[in-house]
Every structure is written in structure tokens, then in C-alpha cells.
Structure 1
Amino acid sequence: MKSMEEMIQAAQAAAQTIQKQMEEAQGKLDQIEVEGVSGGGLVKIRCSAKGRVIGVAIDDSLMDKAEKAMLEDLVTAAFNDARGKADSVAAAEMQKVQMAAGIPAGFKLPF
């Protein structure tokens, strides 16, 4: 049987490995891109899986002062669509890390 000191060292090593994997996963999330769309594709927003907005594309047909309120609503809807997709991708990536580390499904990590 292992001594208590050996068990503590093994637990610390496992915790460090999990921490490293989580940090790598967080870095990967900023490299994954998702696109939110609204208005049938008239407004598109690209963002990272961490939620960082990368770009906004607005169709030229919406560049009319009379359509300002609609354009604002479409940009909001596209951002929310992209954010929802980013959250889904982030959750899936973090679940992969948890499974690889042997952490039970549904266990909430502080990251």
C-alpha cells in the first residue's frame, strides 16, 4: 500500500495534469469560430467559442436610415445566435477534457 505522502503527491500530479488540460482547452476555444446569422443571412457575426467577436457583416440592402431600428435588432439577434453557438461549442470542448481526465459527467468545474 502506498504511503500517505505518495498518495498526496499522486493527487497533486493529477491535479496539475487536469489544470494543464483545462488551460489548453480554454486556449483552443478562442481559436474555434462560430457564426451567428439573422434576417435570412442579411446580418452575420463571427465570434470565437469564448465569445470574442471577430467580425460583423451587414448586407448593403440594410444601409438605409429608415431601417436603422431593424438593423439594430438584426445585429442583436445575430450576436445572440453566435453566442449561443459559442456556448454550445465551449461546453462540448470542456466535456471532452473532463472525460479525458476521468471527471464524472455533470461535475461542475470552476472554469
Structure 2
Amino acid sequence: MFGDLSGMMDKLKEAQQEVEKTKNRLDSVLVDEVSSDGKIKVTLTANRKIKAISIDDSLLSDAEELEDYLILTLNKAIEKATKINEDEMAVAAKAGMPNIPGMDMFK
């Protein structure tokens, strides 16, 4: 019985290591989003860390318009990054999960 438990613990540790590797890798996956008219461009990692924001000079004179553009564009980029992050993390977690009865919700 303890041999099986030990094996499952090893598998869980492997899964945790795989998740950590995936988190580190997602820091290098970049997601770009551009506003519909191209006036704002944002780049974030798949871990949802902002790396760059490019703003067209025409938006600098109107703070309210700039804020609206930033909110819309950042939210779109965050949605994309979150989707990539969730998909990759699910794969990483599933790959290392031991076969435990009743825990098939991860498959």
C-alpha cells in the first residue's frame, strides 16, 4: 500500500515540477494586441505581465480617450494571455497526475 502512495507522491511532485516549468516558459510567450484602429499596441506575457505599450501621439491630447483605448486593448490582451495560460497549465497538470480513482476531473 505504501509503495503505491509513494509512487503517487512522486507523480504529484513531477506534476508540480511540470507546472513550474510551464509557468517559467509562459514568461517567454508574448501576446500582442492592437486596438481596432492601430493607435494602441500592448504586449504581455502569457503569465499576464505587461511588457510593452505603444501609444499613437494623437491619443496623448485626450486623457479620457487614451484611458478608454488602454482599457479595451489591455482587456483583450489579458483575455488572450489567460486562455493560453489556462490551456498550457491544464496540459502540464494533466501530464503529471497519477491515476487516482475519483480524480478524473483533471483529464
- Give the TM bin, normalised by the shorter chain: 0.7 to 0.9
RMSD: 1.9
1:28 aligns with 2:16: no
The runs of 4+ residues in structure 1 deviating greater than 4 Å are 102-106
Q: TM-score, normalised by structure 1?
A: 0.80
> 5+ unaligned residues in a row in structure 1: which ranges?
none
Amino acid at match of 1:23: E
1:86 and 2:85 aligned: no
How far does residue 16 in structure 1 lie from its aligned partner after superposition? Answer: 0.8
Residue of structure 2 equivalent to 1:101: 96
Q: Larger relative CO (CA 8 A, sep 6+): 1 or 2?
A: 2
- Determine whether 1:70 maps to 2:65: yes
Provide the C-alpha distance between the structure 2 equivalents of 1:7 and 1:106, rounded to a whole number of angstroms: 21
Once residues 36 and 84 of structure 2 are traced to their aligned partners in structure 1, the CA distance between those partners, rounded to angstroms, is: 23
Alpha-carbon distance between aligned partners in 2 of 1:8 and 1:15, rounded to the nearest angstrom = 10
Pair 1:77–1:106, CA change in 2 (3 A) = farther
Between the aligned residues of both structures, percent identity stands at 26
